[in-house]
Amino acid sequence: MVFTRHKRLVLLMKLSISGKQIDTGEALQQHVRQALESTVAKYFDHALEGTVQFSRDANLLRCDITVHARRGIFMQAEASADDAYLCFDRALERIGKRLRRYKRRLRDHNAAQAHEIESEAVQQFVLRGESDDNGETHQEPERLDPVVIAEMQTPLHTLTVGEAVMRLDLTGDAAMMFRNSAHGGLNMVYRRTDGNIGWVDPKNLNG
């Protein structure tokens, strides 16, 4: 009798590895690819694409990781260290912790992806901050006509509040707007200074 071992089929993601004024040799790139694909494959059969960028951060090295795992599912993390391998491993560890935190929800998302409601496209703008005489930049412009330095389209997903919190945590972003699947209104979740997540729901003001 012949026994055959069936392995889970995992397709390699499209991965870009680069360095700003840093040489990313073959050994480092192989370590990055194997470690990142191994971590992501625990939760997704086929992540779409990923980018890993190394740069200098004062006297340290910095690693920024971004992974587009599924439609609407992005993961981002960064870390600094005096060694390229160490800063990558630290950034990847942060992604791994976030994935483990939402393990069940991510698997539910994979199973229900075919029924996911299509997202809308909304316009997003980046405004230039105002600088004083000391060169310090303020987040709130003093003029009523702030200068737009970038504009782009960004998806507006229809989500539950829990799904929105998960996506905000996976990306590490400061805030995210979404359409609440419970009532169709616009909501926002954001990262508070105390580390907790805030939730803005204007719909509730109307009772």
**Is the CATH code 3.40.50.720 the one for domain 117-206?**
no
Residue spans of the domains in the chain: they are 14-111, 117-206
3-state SS, residue 206: helix
Taking only Cα atoms into account, the Rg of the chain, rounded to an integer number of angstroms, comes to 20
Counting other chains too, the contacts that 44-47 makes at CB distance below 8 Å and 24 or more residues apart are 44/69, 44/70, 44/106, 44/110, 45/8, 45/9, 45/10, 45/11, 45/110, 46/10, 46/11, 46/13, 47/13
Helices (H), the chain: 26-41, 84-101, 103-112, 161-171
pLDDT digits (tens, 9 = 90+) for 161-186: 999 999 999 998 899 999 999 999 99
The per-residue pLDDT for 28 is 96
The per-residue pLDDT for 8 is 42
The per-residue pLDDT for 35 is 96
21 band by pLDDT with thresholds 50, 70 and 90: confident
The per-residue pLDDT for 157 is 87
Token duo for residue 55 = 């740069």
CATH class, 14-111 region = alpha beta
203 band by pLDDT with thresholds 50, 70 and 90: confident
pLDDT digits (tens, 9 = 90+) for 23-49: 999 999 999 999 999 999 988 877 889
Residue with tokens 């972003």: 173
Residue 202 and residue 186: Cα distance in Å, rounded? 8
- Better-scored residue on pLDDT, 203 or 161: 161
Query: Is-contact 102 170, C-beta < 8 A?
Result: yes
